[in-house]
Amino acid sequence: MGEVDPAFIQEPEHRPRISYIEGKGVPLIDLSPILSSSNVSAIEFEGLVKEVGDACKEWGFFQVINHGVPLEMREKIDGASRKFFAQSLEDKRKVSRNEKEVSGYYDTEHTKNVRDWKEVFDFTIEEPTIVPASHEPDDTELTEWNNLWPEYPPDLREICQEYSQEMVKLGYKLMELIALSLGLPADRFHGFFKDQTSFIRLNHYPPCPTPELALGVGRHKDGGALTILAQDDVGGLEVKRKTDGEWVRVKPTPDAYIINVGDIIQVWSNDRYESVEHRVMVNSEKERFSLPFFFNPAHYTMVKPLEELTNEQNPAKYRAYNWGKFITNRKRSNFQKLNVENLQIYHFRISE
């Protein structure tokens, strides 16, 4: 990426501080009560549900350990990701994504109209993934997103597919805990993910000569339901703390996953849980790798506050929107600089 192109430079008010605040208090939750085959006491289980609910409410972010994803599987996908990104740009671009095929390799993504200091490789969980053909509301045509797999490393496809099944399992477990924490049946969210539009991203953040001007990913909120992130030991993820609006660094915990609530859960829960802003710092010495899994519902899902969580005293705060149209609109803005901010859930907020 050489000299810093002005496209990467953040506006002065969004530039990162090189000294950072360590995110003390980001909840670390042990999921072993839902994984152990021995009988877990009701108190232990209720304690876990409460911990998840409190974390969603107070932070919108938490880390999980003893999550059941085999470490060797995570090591395999991490190794394959490093091999893929170590290739020449020419080789990586053989599987470049475009406006039609949104999976594959990409190195010019924009967040809030500023280019991110990173390169990515995306693949969807369902092959093919069915989505609307366009973001236009009256267009009912559907299309398929197909994955583009590189020739090298030769086992990348198989490793990615194995790993994605583990992510889906963990995603369902976490959604059950979130449902219970909202006073809903454990399987309340399951139906939404029947024809999921979930995807996994391999991220590579090369060393950056001006880490005080650029960001690996600019400030944003995740549009889907839930994000499950594996990060390496370099660190760089920062979360906007709800209590005071300060950016705090999420310290890598070995073998943990970082979970964050997405916009869809904010709408489903009618603002009881909030999707929070986060960003990624880069540094001048080390490259960083991460693996986010975005757990997203079927394209035909109408996202709106759940009936069980709304009443006369607490009316719905959002009008319903179609997830497929939302995601196709979002994907469009990743490819081009738009004159307006890309679609956000607050555009569907019902004014008081």
- Ranked by mean pLDDT, the top range of 12-26, 97-111, 210-224 is 210-224
Q: How many residues does the chain have?
A: 352
Residue whose pair of structure tokens reads 């093919």 in the numeric block: 128
User: What pLDDT is recorded for position 42?
Assistant: 87
Mean pLDDT for 163-186 is 98
Predicted TM-score (pTM) of the model is 0.95
pLDDT tens digits, 3-38? 678 999 999 999 988 777 787 778 999 999 988 766
Reported as a pLDDT band with limits 50, 70 and 90, residue 1 is very low
Alpha-carbon span 234 to 161, nearest angstrom:
26
* Start-to-end C-alpha separation, the chain: 47
Residue whose pair of structure tokens reads 């995807």 in the numeric block: 199
Reported as a pLDDT band with limits 50, 70 and 90, residue 340 is low
Alpha-carbon span 101 to 316, nearest angstrom:
36
Single-letter code of the amino acid located at 113: N
Alpha-carbon span 55 to 51, nearest angstrom:
6
Alpha-carbon span 177 to 62, nearest angstrom:
13
Alpha-carbon span 81 to 139, nearest angstrom:
37
Single-letter code of the amino acid located at 221: K
Mean pLDDT for 143-169 is 97
Alpha-carbon span 39 to 80, nearest angstrom:
38
Alpha-carbon span 74 to 81, nearest angstrom:
11
Q: Which two tokens stand for residue 280?
A: 């990624």
Q: Is 204 helix (H, G, I), strand (E, B) or coil?
A: strand
* Main-chain dihedrals φ then ψ at residue 269, nearest 5 degrees: -85, 5
